[in-house]
Chain A
Amino acid sequence: MIRFISRRLLFLVPQALGVTLVAFFFVRLLPGNPALLIAGGHATPDILRAAEERLGLNLPVWEQYWRYLNQVVRGDLGNSWYTGRAIGLDVADRFPATLELITITLIVCVILGVGLGVLMALRPGGIMERVTFVYGLLAGAIPEFWFGLILVFFFFYMLGWFPAPMGRIDSSFTVPTVTGFLTIDTLLAGNLAAFWSAVSHLVLPVATLVFVYTGQILKMTRVTLQEMLDSDFVEFARATGLSKMQVLRYALRNALPPVVTVIGINYGYLLGGAVLVEKIFAWGGFGQYVVNAVLQSDYLAIQAFVLVAAAFNLLVYLIVDVIDRIIDPRLRQAV
């Protein structure tokens, strides 16, 4: 297992290099001159030239890439062309907000998806199946940003059950940053009121994402578990007189690898999917940051997002593969 993990970690290096190359050049395919956007409509040719020099856009593209690569290798993601701020600082500020949102979302998706999937597999054709069928249609058709706005309208505006969609916590609380996860940092600070504020601010954005992303996990759990429950070895297990719980445990363990894979894939999708939800709830996360960067043609910030997202996904897939190997002994023996 250690050799497997080490080999995969080694592969991360060329993969990351490939990602920087793709991110750098694809971003430069975006139409328009970012220096013009920064300099503004009143930019004389001299002002525009000065802006291009400041941003390094006057250099040959390969030289720009080489400079960028040298920076990244030293851990420097560059400075935002708009704010002038170090992008590394922006990432450190914003990424935990996104990570908290998508991690809690994933946990809820797993609990609901796996739980309901197991129930449906155990009682095929029941009322849960019909409800889930309708849910599957809706979840596939309804865009998350629209659903988020509907939740805001009903639960904040009409009912007043949840706080305003203005960030992660009530602005009256100041919480020292330890992990960047407000749910954890507030508890570490011993501030229960702040903790509940953070939790109440999480409910609607998490609900929005859970509605959209639970479906795949639920479906995969139900289908694979159903297959296992119909398989010969489970039939044999029942015939030997094992209890229902024991049979279910055997079947579930065998159904888990594809479910874990789907969970991992969804975790990666959530990073992108949270972008619009962050905008709606003014979350102040990394997704909202990159939307602004795209609109402003802030190349370095966009590249940083691609790099961080790629690293995140690669790490998640590594964890998924490790978990699969733990669950399935056949994979441990594979070359």
Chain B
Amino acid sequence: MSLEQDKETVNLVDQVLKGEVSRREFIKRAAILGMSVGAITTILSACGGAAATPTATKAAAAATAATGATKEQIIIAFSATPIGWDPDLSGLTGANETMYLVQDGLVRWKLGSTSKEAGALVADTANYPKSLEPHLAESWKSEGNTHIFSLRKGVISHAGNEMTADDVKWTYDRAFKLQGIGIYIASMGGLLKADDVKVIDKYTVSFTLSLPPDVFFKGLCINQACVLDSTEAKKHATADDPYATKWLPTGDAGFGRYKVVSMEAGKQLTLESFDKHYMGPAPMKRLVIREVPSSANRLTLVDKGEVDVVTELLPRELETLKGKGNVRVWNLPSGNMGYYEMGWIFPPFDNQTVRQAVCYAVPYDQIINEVYRGFASPATSVMPSSFPGYKKSYTYTYDVEKAKSLLKQAGFGDGFSTDIAYNSDLPLHEQLAVVLQTSLAKVNIKATLKGLTSAPYLESLLSFDKTKKYAIEVSTAGQNEPDAYYWGMGLMHSKSFINPSVVKSPELDAIIEKMGAETDAAKRNDLAGQMQDLVNTQATWATWAETNLQLATGSAVKGVTGYLTDHFLNNLYI
């Protein structure tokens, strides 16, 4: 899709949502612009969504008046203002939600409708590679292991500098030097050193990989894989700080759709549409992100129409908003999963039969219905269903008798004692731990709960040391890299430094390694299926749900997007 077509599409969508263009006219023009049937249907259903009834319309008008949510401004309430948007140094959720607004990447996911939520557009990760779209890169081609990207010409940064291949090179040099969060996925994708990124000419850059390109290309869509304006960043560098690490976290070196207007840490971040963006002005002129730490207050604020978008509400809070005409609760498919991870280094969890017994002891429906109040979906694999290569493979159901029988078979008919660790900073973790503790008691497994704050919890998850780790760990992991090899290599391979359950399975290692070297997509997916089947048999993780991505919006917001774990602010339609 050309630059002009992009702009035209955005304007057209804007017009139909505002009612300036009839549905018939929209369909005709959308077809000319090459919009897919799915996208057309989704946008039209968003037009006839929550504000369809007179009551909802009145409430919507009232909400609009209360927030002033016109096409000028959207107010979003987060639990914390982003700490920054440095792709290498700024971690945490809030930072992820800001990174993609301020900074763009070379490619992006095509958005498609989802059957789970009318009016929502989600990243079409399942149809990789067809669903990768040009963004800052106009096109790319592969020559063996080298992948050459032609950059879009005339892309201007917020500071007024044109993007060139030097910016891409500098961004990756920085990432490799700082060894921050950003470089992990690229290196897992086979980009091993800065010298493998080469400037061919002013608008052409190449990447030489040591692996087939799937992980790397998908990784180009994550927030951290953005391009920085090196000219602007270098103005803030010093001899001691050549990569502007002090400035960049809250400085603006972006080519993204929104520029930073002001940042008051702990209070408010204000972003404004960057009208010189290659896609033209953003759907909203201004985004205001307010820090509202209390989820009860975020609930109240969106209900009263004081804010337009809130996140991180508890399931019972989301439930209270359902059915209200002035608020919509969105439940988007994502890469978020829930697990009880059993550590192989803790007997008897080194026994596969024992792990299988635990999987049969988990009350899956209770977790989805009572803990998640129906906002989670049953897990049908250890991997998210949105991943390419996903296979319906999770075979465990809640069956106490089966669990007891397996324990007896393994020689633990009288049960045993164990620990369950959870992150006490996360609201649902304790509840999830208690549910498991209660269920395990029914099969004579006596579990002691260990609530840990974030730092020791993370240490427990990532440690291979029995003194710092616990036998069972509650995990609610968000996975934004939709690749089965990446998933397996990071989480299940015996040589991975992550491998939370300290799995040591040569058979599983072999499948994962073979997948990483496989270039044929069909064979790769087949290997992914084998991996999922084996992980299911080994029962390392009792996978209770796909926990999805929830947010609540005022009725002025008619459409949202989702990108596995974030990106829902990218294309809000009002």
Contacts and interface: CB of A to CB of B under 8 A. Distances in A.
Contacts of B370: none
A44 B83 CA distance: 22
Contacts of A33: 455, 459
B351 to A, nearest CB: 27
A167 B490 contact: no
Interface string B513-538: 00000000000000000000000000
A149 B455 contact: no
Contacts of B272: none
B84 interface: yes
B37 interface: no
Given A40-B181, A47-B179, A295-B425, A83 B453 contact: no
B178 A50 contact: yes
Interface residues of A, number: 48
A44 to B, nearest CB: 6
Given A30-B455, A42-B498, A152-B297, A292 B80 contact: yes
Contact of A37 (B89, B304, B458): B458
Contacts of B267: 167, 282, 284
A41 B91 CA distance: 10
B462 A288 contact: no
B555 to A, nearest CB: 18
Given A31-B456, A82-B83, A282 B265 contact: no
A312 interface: no
A27 to B, nearest CB: 12
B80 A166 contact: no
A15 B408 CA distance: 63
Contacts of B292: 165-166, 282
Contacts of A297: 454-455
B453 A152 contact: no
Given A32-B455, A50-B179, A157-B304, A282 B290 contact: yes
Contacts of B296: 149, 152
A90 B80 CA distance: 15
Nearest to A39: B181
Contacts of A36: 455, 458-459, 462
A32 B425 CA distance: 14
Contacts of B80: 292
Interface residues of B, number: 51
Contacts of B291: 282, 284
A260 to B, nearest CB: 34
A44 B188 CA distance: 11
A34 to B, nearest CB: 6
A41 B266 CA distance: 24
A32 B453 CA distance: 8
A280 B294 contact: yes
A85 interface: yes
Contacts of A83: 83-84, 249-250, 265
A164 B307 CA distance: 10
B416 interface: no
B173 to A, nearest CB: 15
Contacts of B92: 82
B203 interface: no
A32 B456 contact: yes
Interface string B185-203: 1000000000000000000
A84 B249 contact: yes
B455 A156 contact: no
Contacts of B458: 32, 36-37, 41
Contacts of B245: 84
Nearest to A42: B184
Nearest to B177: A50
A329 interface: no
B266 A292 contact: yes
B472 interface: no
A33 B455 CA distance: 6
A47 B184 contact: yes
B293 A279 contact: yes
Contacts of A46: 179
Contact of A296 (B180, B454, B461, B497): B454
B345 interface: no
Given A83-B250, A279-B294, A171 B265 contact: no
Given A165-B292, A292-B266, A84 B84 contact: yes
B98 to A, nearest CB: 13
B268 interface: yes
Contacts of B288: 171
Given A32-B455, A41-B462, A171-B268, A152 B184 contact: no
B250 to A, nearest CB: 7
Contacts of A291: 293
A282 B297 CA distance: 9
Contact of B490 (A40, A42, A93, A296): A42
A34 B455 contact: yes
Interface string A89-103: 010011000000000
Contacts of A305: none
B341 interface: no
A30 B456 CA distance: 9
Contact of A289 (B246, B266, B304): B266
B473 interface: no
B452 to A, nearest CB: 7
B4 interface: no
A14 interface: no
B406 interface: no
A298 to B, nearest CB: 10
A86 B452 CA distance: 29
B266 A280 contact: no
A44 B294 contact: no
Contacts of A79: 246
Give the 9 A-B CB pairs with smallest separation, nearest first.
A32-B455, A32-B456, A31-B456, A284-B267, A42-B184, A50-B179, A164-B306, A279-B293, A297-B455
12 contacts: A31-B456, A31-B459, A32-B454, A44-B179, A47-B179, A47-B180, A50-B178, A157-B300, A165-B292, A166-B307, A282-B294, A292-B80
Interface of A: 30-34, 36-47, 50, 79, 82-85, 90, 93-94, 149, 152-153, 156-157, 164-167, 171, 279-282, 284, 288-289, 291-292, 295-297
